[in-house]
Amino acid sequence: MAKIRPSQGSPYARIMGVGGYRPTRVVPNEVILETIDSSDEWIRSRSGIATRHWASDEETVAMMSIEASGKAIADAGITPEQIGGVIVSTVSHFKQTPAIATEIADRIGAGRPAAFDISAGCAGFGYGLTLAKGMVVEGSAEYVLVIGVERLSDLTDLEDRATAFLFGDGAGAVVVGPSQEPLIGPTVWGSEGDKSNTIMQTVPWDDYRDKKVEKFPALTQEGQAVFRWAVFEMAKIAQQALDAAGITSADLDVFIPHQANMRIIDSMVKTLKLPEHVTVARDVETTGNTSAASIPLAMERLLATGQAKSGDTALVIGFGAGLVYAATVVTLP
């Protein structure tokens, strides 16, 4: 039997740079109230959201991704030609094939990297980060670009009182590269498919195509069920990620959960008993729920505003449709 030569990668991986893009249009709650029977006070009390960004026709999934990627690559101090892998997490690229990652790779000048899309909802950034880490350590790519991008305004039913106010658009990206020390911890990830109907697309695409329904597919969710699951079950997953990294909450500098809902974030902080010194990302107030983009967008804002700094230890956790989740501890770039 022939012996296969082992892979020659880096001992470890790290996040080297981060970038984000928010559409120029800022949409306050007052705009949402034009189509649903609610109030600004109700929306803020239920979600913590005051404004969100909605993309224009020109701000496509590709365009937003390219803008965020350019910032992340510059922040990492490398050139696009050095990118060996492009991973895009999105549920709002409406072409089944080819993957939008291939177009993005070409347009940023990355050459001929491995490029593919993943669909893991609001946990997509964590899934992509884990895959990128594996590629760097395995040696199939030295630098991997991970993008979370959504145009959820395309999938929002503005007449659905339960979800019309939740979603926003945007793109976040990070560059993952080699490291001589472990700066991305073990990932705790998984799925609970028996709960898949709690967050889902209202109807399949072919129902709309075949005119079985007249309304364009949108996102819907069972709010209370999702809330309970996120607060209680995801706090356990977050604790498992801390345990896997060999640290405690006292060792954390930053907590960056998926920006789903301010009440969920605050409840997780309480359940995890995070110390007061831990900076908590609350980007949801002005960005809304951007699914796979929410963690890198929140990470970029914390670093840009000085609320977090390079070298800080951060716990990141994403959770959403599937139901899927992914949590890990990282060192910020």
pLDDT of 5-57, one tens digit each?
878 889 999 999 999 999 999 999 999 999 999 999 999 999 999 999 999 99
Given a cut of 70, the residues of the chain with pLDDT beneath it are none
Instruction: Please answer whether residues 122 and 321 qualify as being in contact, where contact means their C-beta atoms are separated by less than 8 angstroms.
Output: yes
Give the tokens for residue 138. 């395995």
pLDDT of 114-127, one tens digit each?
999 999 999 999 99
pLDDT value of residue 8: 83
Cis ω before 323 (30° cut-off from 0)? yes
Residue that has been written with the tokens 């945007």 in this structure: 170
With 0-12 / 13-18 / 19 or more C-beta atoms within 10 angstroms meaning exposed / middle / buried, residue 158 is: middle
Instruction: Please answer whether residues 172 and 18 qualify as being in contact, where contact means their C-beta atoms are separated by less than 8 angstroms.
Output: yes
pLDDT value of residue 227: 86
pLDDT value of residue 221: 86
Strand 188-191 relative to strand 12-21, pairing: unpaired
pLDDT value of residue 27: 98
- DSSP-derived letter for residue 123 is G
Q: Is 113 helix (H, G, I), strand (E, B) or coil?
A: coil
Instruction: Please answer whether residues 105 and 83 qualify as being in contact, where contact means their C-beta atoms are separated by less than 8 angstroms.
Output: yes
pLDDT value of residue 211: 85
Instruction: Please answer whether residues 32 and 164 qualify as being in contact, where contact means their C-beta atoms are separated by less than 8 angstroms.
Output: yes
pLDDT value of residue 226: 87
Residue 52: how many CA atoms within 13 Å on its side-chain side?
A: 32
pLDDT value of residue 206: 84
pLDDT value of residue 325: 97
Indicate left, alpha or beta for 212 from its phi (over 0: left) and psi (-120 to 50: alpha).
alpha
pTM of the complete model beyond 0.75 = yes
pLDDT value of residue 200: 85
* CB neighbour burial string for 96-122, b if at least 16 within 10 angstroms, e if fewer: eeebbbbbbbeebebeebbbbbbebbb
Q: Please report which helix (H) or strand (E) contains residue 124, including its range.
A: helix 124-138
Would you name the residues annotated as active-site residues?
A: 122, 258, 289
Which amino acid, residue 16?
M
pLDDT value of residue 152: 97
Strand 279-280 relative to strand 254-257, pairing: parallel
